[in-house]
Amino acid sequence: METHKGMQFPAIYYFLVGLSFLFLFGCQDSSDLPASVTLPGSESTEVVDPAGSGFATVEGRLHVEGRTIKNEDGDVVVLKGVNIADPEHLNLKTWERPNVTALSVTKDAVENFYAKVIRLPIHPGNPSYPNEGWFGANGGQKYLDEHIRPLVNYLTALRIYTIIDLHYVEDWSGKMPQVAAFWNVVAPQFKDNPYVIYEIYNEPIYPDDWNRWKSEIAQPAVDLVRSHAPDNLIIVGGPLWSAHMAGALANPIVGKNIVYTAHIYSNQWPSQIEKNFGQAIEQLPFFITEWGFETGGTEGGSRSGYGVPFVEWMERHQFSWTAWCFDIRWGPRMFDGNWNLLEGDGGMGAYIRDLLLENHQNN
């Protein structure tokens, strides 16, 4: 998290927080984990109330002012972190990623890579796999208690922000009942936790119509979340994989603490920015919740051709970001199949590591 004019803590603070957390939750042996995923700390899934525990204090409260995110002191805050894979996949589909869990991966991102925000993509599910996903047989409150709450508790204890993302990647028309069902459960759970941010719908695709999307899904979803959670930041995307956001300038979402998102990969950079985002990207608050590159991978791109100039562009705009993806399977990836960082001009793992380390050292 990059903070301008404040929100800096001495090293002893982080030591005492870590020591207290270790005392509270204990340690476990991590010898069964891959060498590049060194994850000290607890795998406890004890459910606690972060707000009641005193971890979530007013100092973590964020708000939107103009086109920036600010803290309680009025300082501009720029959060920098990563996406992990769906927490249920990490916890239960062990054949895909042996010897890790959602908590161990989250700890690695925070303790070894210094992420200041973690985005949790919560998959709604697929009828072909009825036992998986939020709307599957093991979804709802059970999913929240087993796969989301332990991560939020861990992150909040360290004053790291969590984005809970309803990770639809599909056409949005007619989806409001499912969107409402999800947020009616999730939004009240963390309404008093200033370290939790809600992202209403990951990537709506078609219809490619901002005004309809706003009136049929985005505004009703924001209103619903706000009815449960008066103050948490809410992130709103738009049509065509959250890439067509220009309409938000003339017809913005109504409400406080609204941040827009843009998912920008190398196939859009830089030629499609003006067309897709117009002046909205210059005048509205944005949080880039997905970006990344992997030469030969799902989104292509390279460090020199996309990564470096894109990061410089985000820095100039003071945009917060979460890179996609701190994973070995979901691309663009930071790691190969053995959790080794992807490096060089075509691999973003080492580049994201360096960016997060620099952010940590400067704040």
Mean pLDDT of the chain: 87
Pairwise CA distance, residues 79 & 76, whole Å: 10
Pairwise CA distance, residues 221 & 175, whole Å: 11
In this prediction the pTM is 0.86
Identify whether 30 is part of a domain. Answer: no
The token pair at 126 is 């697929």
Q: Is the pLDDT of residue 363 over 80?
A: yes
Identify whether 13 is part of a domain. Answer: no
What is the CA 265 to chain-centroid distance, rounded? 16
What backbone phi and psi angles, to 5 degrees, belong to 48? -125, 165
pLDDT tens, residue by residue, 40-71 = 333 433 334 443 333 444 579 999 999 999 99
Identify whether 249 is part of a domain. Answer: yes
Boundaries of domain holding 87: 2-8+49-362
Q: Is the pLDDT of residue 80 over 60?
A: yes
Pairwise CA distance, residues 291 & 282, whole Å: 18
Identify whether 191 is part of a domain. Answer: yes
Domains held by the chain: number? 1
Judge contact between 309 and 255, C-beta under 8 A.
no
Q: Is the pLDDT of residue 329 over 60?
A: yes
State the DSSP string of 180-214: HHHHHHHHHHTTT-TTEEEES-SEE-SS--HHHHI
Q: Is the pLDDT of residue 226 over 90?
A: yes
| Conformational region of residue 293, where left means phi above 0, alpha means psi within -120 to 50, and beta covers everything else | beta
Judge contact between 301 and 295, C-beta under 8 A.
yes
Task: Supply the CATH number for residue 302's domain.
Answer: 3.20.20.80
Identify whether 27 is part of a domain. Answer: no
